[in-house]
Structure 1
Amino acid sequence: MQTESQAKNELSPTDTATDKKSHSKHSIKSSRFRVQSIARQNDVSAQIDEDHDKTLQERSESRQQNIQKRQQQNLERIFRLCYDNCLDETAGEPDPDWIHHFMTIAQNIYSPSMQKLWSRILRQEIITPGSISLKAMIAFQQMTQRDAQLFRRACLLACHFGQDNTKKLLTGLKYRSGFLLKQASIDKLNLGHYQLPYSHLLELMGLGLILSTELESGKLQSSTPLPFHYQGNDYQIQPAKNGVSLLYYRFSPVGQEIAQLLGNHRNEEYQIHLTELLNKHFIVSSDASTYHPII
């Protein structure tokens, strides 16, 4: 006998489209419905649902008990996620005050995706005590799920160069052109093309994750190769001509700490455009050989 799930999988495209449209129609709720639903979930619907039979004191106690239960569930979930991602690494003893602050904050993290990030914070601190500052935890606490997504986009585009390991967002290259090379020209990288417009940068600056001033490196000399790193790949870039400089935004110390938790993940399209830009002004090489492009 054909099961219900098998029958659903065999629906024609028209039936599937109709079903989706019907589902979409029924999933649209009014603002009154949403308010009532949220109020019920948080035990504050007494004046909306007038058929209740509890006193104000009883309702208050019930709400507090439910909050405590959810907080307990949040902490248990975060510790379980951390436990599942720990292996046999050598671990240290986190500071008791750090653990106290962590649990005070983490108990109010309800989003599953944010709970995963908080489990990474805990894992990092257990493996390397002192690596996650209280300031970074507070900044992370203030981040919504959307903020975390914006910051992750920035991390996908981050590089670092020279002897400085701080993550940076490269925005372009400045070079000399024109008569006697006296006129400065700029080749820009359009970060907005990679879902990171300037308005989003401003939000990350407001969160204290990226410093607000666009910086310029010193003028690079053609005789001196510069170490350049993008998402775990190491290169040397050597200017084809003297006087080229890099334009960039720097991650803040707190942004750097949080970025380390996310690991190295590249944006393939950005890497192609970054390569094209670098190859216009530099000889790009790896340890093995000189080549174009760096992918």
Structure 2
Amino acid sequence: MTLKAATLDHKIRNRKSLLLQLAEQRGLAGLLHGDSPLSFGARFEIRRQLDEAARQKNLETIVQLAHRASSDDVGSEPDPDWLSHFLALAENIRHPAMQQFWAGILTQEIARPGHCSIPALNCLRQMTQKDALLLQRASALSCHFGDDQLRLLFGYQHRTMLQGLRQHKLSLGHHRLSYAGLLQLFELGLLHQSELESGELPAGAPLRLALHSRQLVLTPARKGVRLLYYRFTSIGNELAALMSDNPPGDYLRELTELLAPLGLLEGA
């Protein structure tokens, strides 16, 4: 009992110390130190200067990271309105991993203006690092077939004469994309919420599945097969395209095992 109480006191002291540290970093510790010789107005001015200095540091860090990542290839100047909007949003990005991501967007925009829209930037500004990691995982598991729209393929369905409609699915949760993660991507407007099915795949007609640098070609041996997937929204498609992770090997293995019974599967 004594040990438990001591542990609780230790946690309280740590939290107070952490809160004091955060308050001092943001210029909000005036009352925590007792009577201050500075007025509230003077302390506000100090906090404003700290905030402005932090925003300046954020932008300079992102520009430095973008400069390091840029090559000597020919580039083009981004649209001025886009650049102003980018800077207005990026100045509040403090997390190093997210600064790296925003630097990558700036680098790609200079290489190919129009690559990332302003609505996509607005969506990205609302995302935490955890959200960005979820999108990165979804992007790594994504593919496209028939067009350039990214999809999260997770199964298929087919009709049998004796058993009717049957479905076969893999678990995205086994590949670090849980249902809670999917719900978060739905909430952010990056994935459409409903499970979708493709048109019926013609028997004997090859279908090319592009999974980043990997290519699978499925030639169904029977009629009545439809693929099951989640589709990225237009903004989700934009932001996911900025993340170039290849599909994990365990997902590729499970996907090929899932699709192999449908017919000829090449590239597995």
TM-score relative to the length of structure 1: 0.84
Q: Which residue identity does 1:252 align to in structure 2? A: T
Q: Is residue 210–residue 255 contact of structure 1 (8 Å, CA) maintained in 2?
A: yes
Counterpart position of 2:232: 251
Counterpart position of 2:6: none
| Deviation digits for residues 238-284 of structure 1 (CA, Å, limit 9, x no counterpart) | 11211111000011111111111111422111111011011121311
Does residue 139 of structure 2 align to residue 158 of structure 1?
no
SS at match of 1:246: strand
Does residue 117 of structure 2 align to residue 133 of structure 1?
yes
SS at match of 1:249: strand
Counterpart position of 1:90: 74
Q: CA deviation at 1:159?
A: 1.0
Q: Could you tell me how far apart the structure 1 residues matched to 2:213 and 2:191 are?
A: 21
Q: Is residue 173–residue 244 contact of structure 1 (8 Å, CA) maintained in 2?
A: yes
TM-score relative to the length of structure 2: 0.92
Q: Could you tell me how far apart the structure 1 residues matched to 2:104 and 2:17 are?
A: 36
Q: Which residue identity does 2:18 align to in structure 1? A: R
Q: Is residue 160–residue 230 contact of structure 1 (8 Å, CA) maintained in 2?
A: yes
| Deviation digits for residues 156-182 of structure 1 (CA, Å, limit 9, x no counterpart) | 1111112x1111101211012352xx6
Q: Is residue 136–residue 245 contact of structure 2 (8 Å, CA) maintained in 1?
A: no
Counterpart position of 2:23: 39
Does residue 253 of structure 2 align to residue 269 of structure 1?
no
Counterpart position of 1:289: none
| Counterparts in 2 of 1:122 and 1:28: CA distance versus 1, 3 Å | farther
Q: Is residue 210–residue 249 contact of structure 1 (8 Å, CA) maintained in 2?
A: yes
Unaligned 5+ runs, structure 1: 1-25, 287-293
SS at match of 1:235: strand
Counterpart position of 1:124: 108
| Deviation digits for residues 62-97 of structure 1 (CA, Å, limit 9, x no counterpart) | 111111111111111101111111112221121111
- Match runs of 1:114-263 below 5 Å: 114-162=98-146, 164-179=147-162, 183-263=164-244
Q: Could you tell me how far apart the structure 2 residues matched to 1:275 and 1:177 are?
A: 22
Counterpart position of 1:76: 60
Q: Greater CA deviation, 133-142 or 198-207? A: 198-207
Q: Which residue identity does 1:194 align to in structure 2? A: H
Q: Could you tell me how far apart the structure 2 residues matched to 1:260 and 1:28 are?
A: 44
Q: Which residue identity does 1:210 align to in structure 2? A: L
Q: Greater CA deviation, 43-52 or 100-109? A: 43-52
Counterpart position of 2:7: none
CA RMSD after TM alignment: 1.8
Q: CA deviation at 1:28?
A: 8.7
Q: CA deviation at 1:198?
A: 1.4
Q: Could you tell me how far apart the structure 1 residues matched to 2:11 and 2:252 are?
A: 40
How many equivalent residue pairs?
Answer: 260
SS at match of 1:160: coil
1:279 to 244, 260, 267: 260
Q: CA deviation at 1:49?
A: 1.4
Query: Whose RCO is larger (CA < 8 A, sep 6+)?
Result: 2
Q: Which residue identity does 1:226 align to in structure 2? A: L
